[in-house]
Structure 1
């Protein structure tokens, strides 16, 4: 269903000069009103868009192909779909591999867990810098590094550097750089601390190859699908005031991960009650893959999923979302699909 109201190019944004709370609530209300408008165009379709119904559609495809069983490889939200399909149609699963696993029964991310994982990631960065104090000079212990970095962030909030691009939000982004970008982020922070020209910033994460079905964002349909599936599946945050208050709580607990003021009010405009997915343990071969340091789908979610639905859990020692198919360890996935051999071990990211 087309929903041009949710095309990012058409959604107005409150002025940056407005107070943070007003800006958040005004933006959330704008989006909520547009989500409600889109859902009202075809209420029956909007209400039907759940992960469980998508799993049922997938089984229709299986029947149409004349297959008794299917193999399934899913990552990110695809893990929610896979776990749901296996719960509903376990007898039709040959082998299933799920990488970067969502929390069981959730299509919408749990922001508290993500913030906790990101704050822990920052803690790892401070320890890494402390071990290299002679090179970067932020302190010889993690607490000393933390104090120095937060002081630098505060200084840049009060006095951004002359180039106009290095201020507190920029600094906070460097504090949360991915592991592969720690050296570049450290060099950039040193330059900012010393008032020198900017250095090379952390490299962007590599994007996976396209699958032939890649299309651009068109008329807001992707935004509508995300709102429908997320908010039908999960209670989500439906009250804007509560979302702001919770965002403040997160900021107090996680001063780096939740530095940007705000909260999660993505379901504030959704007019239908949630229909949470019910997962059950299955007997078909299942290989879960979790990433030890990931912040998008934190590793504890993979353990939760294993406890709920069973299967083996392979741990990848990296922080890269859905990287399994692009690293040498992916050979274990090929082995699983060809022989059924599962792994509860670890491998390099």
Structure 2
């Protein structure tokens, strides 16, 4: 028995429809209607060509949510989603869609910042009598506490458990905060998401797919995939007592690396003022347990244009997918 897991960051329309940002893209390819038709076609191909297809989406938005709900209903699918963003990003969020015929056993939605808050206790402030209140405030402004920053992020994890022909599997999806200049904060989030998946599943087989905003050379990737990785430690908090320790024994495998021996050449490509000609692998289908990767969606070795979105790529990310055999 196999399950097909698809992961796709579909790019929030409020970000995409900005020719001044995507200056190397033709404006007609940035329009929501054009992009939506391509997104729908690509997802439909996965649903029609494979059995037991589960779709994990990142950068859902209020603008595209009605269209997604409608098309999934037409395909006899159920979409579980959580929009956690604000007005500036059209309430960006994530979702998992499963066939309505698939038995749903459990559904968890956890905001990682809220989880961090639950394991954090403010430290008692021991003020130095020789230090003025103004000096202390300046020190705090110069050195923001990484756990406080991680706590402020609203990104959420969705985890479901389904039964397929009497076989149970957990599926999770996550969209990592894009804080590549602050690796400690990303390590906090990625480690907690990984350990939460082990906790929610009781160590049973699971798949964790999404846009993780780190590449295979990054410390976060190594911390998730290399047992007892100690190349970088989670930062300490000066403001909170944190009742969490990363479980370095519990690690994940990557579907593409397991099948092909390497990760894709890239899964994200765009030319923007802040990141000109950015091309990197940021999207993964991680897994744990006695699962076998039968095949993965073939991906291009190099971009076919100056910048995505383009005529055939409706997002700056490309869709990834894997067919996974359950034990």
Question: Is the pair's TM-score, using the shorter chain for normalization, greater than 0.5?
Answer: no
Structure having the higher helix fraction is: 1
Structure having the higher strand fraction is: 2
Tell me the TM-score normalized by structure 2: 0.29
Tell me the TM-score normalized by structure 1: 0.28
